[in-house]
A and B are shown apart, each in its own frame.
Chain A
Amino acid sequence: MSTPTALRPTDLRGVRDAVLDSAGPLAIAGAGTAAWAGDLHPVDAVLDTTGLTGVIAHNPGDMTVSAYAGTPLRELNETLAAHGQRVALDAARVARGATIGGLIATADAGPAALARGSMRDLVIGATVVLADGTVARSGGHVIKNVAGYDLAKLLHGSYGTLGVLVEVVLRLHPVPKQTATLALDCPLAEAAGRAAPVLDGPYEPVAVEWRSHSSGDGSGPAATEAGRLLVRIEATPDALGARARRLLRALGSGATEAGAQEWAAHAERVRGRPEQAVLRLGARPSTLPGLLAALPGAATDAAALTLGVGTGVATAALPASAEDVVAAHHAVHAAGGTSVLRDRPAGLGAPAWGPPPSALRVFKAVKTALDPEARLGPGRFDPWI
């Protein structure tokens, strides 16, 4: 097998030319911060988006920014910070240099999704190049906009199989004046109960997550048995103290004020370790703790777990074999949820997806409509497409 041609365009025209000048299967690669979804089949060319960087227009008064899709979110946020603004997405991969296009294509998000949503909620416009070179825009530069179909939504979670995101317009949020993180040690089984007063009350938490203590290297207790519930609020300085005190009371005995570094530890568990198979899964929040605990290998000291107590999105880094990954997909599906492999050791040979959703038919029809020759990202949705 010959090495695929490397394409590294630096603007919209370059992307279109790259797509048109190449023929055959084409992969789209961002910063390469995770081995998401299905293993790629052999491709003739790889379109590297990391040359597509930079802010195109930042309108601080409108709280919007347009940028090239290959821009690392971390860099974009450093630029925006000078204006007291940011893209309010805190996915674990951001620290590793994940690009905004990659975060959209993989539908990634972090703990703040509870309050701010994921990229699908933050993208207000997009320019996409399709496999036949067509350049299509949708959305625009305003936050409120219902004109036409929202093609950016289609690209969200498309894993590089529907088109190349080139330019992205994002809505911004203010950088919070202050934040506080509260923590409480408890096992997985108690997380939802302890978090309930916070989620049901008037506290406006930005994030409510539980993470296992286990770092996944086999040195600690079973992942399900010991962990930490984390609650983050964003506040104005004059309100912070009072809000944090009230939250501590709501959380009850054992709750303490903790530092922002708690979130780095959380992100570490989301990313998993090289030898682990990392699944991202979603289900009705109340079913998640039981579901997580029953995944193969979850109740051991070699696993690491995180749980969005309010969102119902979790990650499970498991000491897994291919059969265990299959079993995990089926368990999630049986509970009415969905799961995808977000990272795995090379050559694990496990399927990235579980049983298909009913909407697969529509996805296939959209795929055929936008990429009739099935050039883009072959293998990403194996065995579905």
Chain B
Amino acid sequence: MALDKTIHSAFARATGPENVIDDPVRCRAYECDGLTGYRVVPDLVLLPRDAAAVAAAVRVCAEHGVAFVARGAGTGLSGGALPVADGVVISLSRLRRILEIDPVNRRAVIEPGVTNLEITAAAAPHGLYYAPDPSSQQVCTIGGNVAENSGGAHCLKYGFTTNHVLATEVVLPDGSIVTFGGDSPEQAGPDLRGVFVGSEGTLGITTKITVRLLPTPETVRTLLADFPSIGAAGDVVSDIVAAGIVPAAVEMMDTLAIEAAEQAVHAGYTVGVAAALVVELDGPVEECEVQFDQVKRICDRHGCTRLHIAGSAEERAAIWRGRKAAFAAVGRISPDYFVQDGVVPRTRLGEVLDRIAAMGKAAGLRVANVFHAGDGNLHPLVLYNAAAGETERAERLSAQIAELCVELGGSLSGEHGIGTDKACSMPKMFSRDDLAVMQRVRDAFDPDGLCNPGKVLPTPRLCGERPGPYRPHPLEEAGVIERL
């Protein structure tokens, strides 16, 4: 059912007719995000130019009961920006002004369509930068980052998006505008800003964001170390942590991921080695040098077979190019692949990797691993060949890996979100009551269920009715929690 003429013209009035796309062919450009397996062509795409137009468009939705989905750059990997049938997409791509860079108070006020990297570019002349650094930072928007509570390699030391957002102006699902948070971390009442960040576009649309900026570190030291086993590399991470060192980043790649990245960008990684570790420290020069020496000694102690220390900004960039290219590079060694995102307690990294390897073997599929080793955030890449009919098997393996993470006391997602992709896995991690309470919170923001419906929380329509027999929670089985 297409939206009728009255509604259509109401949207045109709200945003200006030139900011409405209704041509189905052009609407198709918005049919999916980075998770391309799910596609829905929206009825309309709205491209408002300011917050008032966003609010006006949302009011039309509220008045006519039309579902809406906010969209930034569409790089999300969990189907968060997947349109809903008979609904509209509200793209924030034209709200891209940098409203204020305040070097004295070290903050920036920006509109949601500004890309992550543009914030740092605007802050750099003042010796400041925006810390959270998703690999997609050249294109992803700050609005999308806020919605996903995005992380990045350097979040180990500096924290995630939620730790850097001071305030967000939000158009609520009834079209009214409120501000969560404020000019300081002090808030009057509950931390609604914290609830909004990471809510995956289901509680409203952010139209203005105030973020903290940090002084650019004076020293950055980066090394690339090879190890004969994943276990040895894992022990290095443990020892770094035990020494009380908080690196800016600790990233790990396995043989297959290294092979792919090296083929793609020739960054100087050792092909064939079992594990490569990228460790970066930053901060005051004196601290950095002392701790970097400690890290080098820890690497040696665990049988490091090659230690490459970046001697220049170019060499450092090359190390990171290899790491950041890994996702895309896997396309070179496999026709198709799924990117998974799960978290385990860091101390269980070895165990989870062994089990993933065994699961891959059983499924007859290869799995490459790239991960934020410092915080136990895995990105297993499940390689498959769609033409050979392997899609379903690969999809199943990928979902099983995420659920394995929960079984080991971790999480379904560390940074890519639940979206459409994992909504049906949520009962693996949360009890029915947990989910019901989350739904109550959602209803408080969006009583009519119009704001990105079908995402994050499982629905019978999406996941099938699953009353079923009582299933103990995995953490309950592990004796970590008790059920009453």
Chain A residues in contact with chain B, CB under 8 A?
A: 12-13, 16, 57, 59-64, 84, 107, 109, 113, 117-118, 120-121, 127-128, 130, 134-138, 140-151, 153-158, 162, 173-177, 196, 199-204, 235-236, 238-239, 242-243, 246, 280-287, 308, 310-313, 336-340, 353-354, 356-363, 365-366, 368-370, 381, 384
Contact = CB atoms under 8 A, between A and B. Distances in A.
B430 A148 contact: yes
B440 A370 contact: yes
A369 B440 CA distance: 6
Given A64-B345, A144-B375, A239-B290, A201 B215 contact: yes
A128 B430 CA distance: 13
Contacts of A280: 186
A146 B413 contact: yes
A244 B467 CA distance: 62
A311 B456 contact: no
Interface of B: 102-106, 127, 148-149, 151, 155, 159-160, 162-163, 172, 176-180, 182-195, 198-199, 215-219, 238, 241-242, 244-246, 283-287, 289-291, 343-347, 372, 375-377, 409-418, 422, 426, 429-431, 433-438, 440-445, 447, 456-457, 475, 480-482, 484
Contacts of B187: 107, 157, 282, 338, 357
A77 to B, nearest CB: 15
Given A16-B484, A142-B344, A243-B284, A136 B104 contact: no
B71 to A, nearest CB: 18
Contacts of B344: 142
Contact of A142 (B104, B162, B345): B345
A107 B443 CA distance: 25
B345 A313 contact: no
Nearest to B348: A62
Given A200-B106, A312-B183, A357-B179, 16 more contacts: A137-B481, A140-B409, A141-B410, A144-B343, A145-B343, A147-B422, A149-B442, A150-B195, A156-B194, A235-B287, A242-B286, A282-B187, A336-B182, A339-B188, A357-B182, A362-B192
A151 B440 CA distance: 11
Contact of A62 (B148, B191, B291, B347): B347
A142 B127 contact: no
B183 A336 contact: yes
Contacts of B179: 357-359
A118 B166 CA distance: 13
25 contacts: A12-B482, A57-B480, A60-B242, A107-B186, A118-B185, A121-B162, A121-B163, A130-B437, A140-B411, A141-B345, A144-B376, A146-B418, A150-B198, A200-B215, A203-B284, A204-B283, A204-B287, A238-B286, A238-B290, A242-B286, A284-B102, A358-B178, A362-B445, A365-B447, A366-B192
Contacts of B377: 144
B412 A359 contact: no
Nearest to A236: B290
A153 B343 contact: no
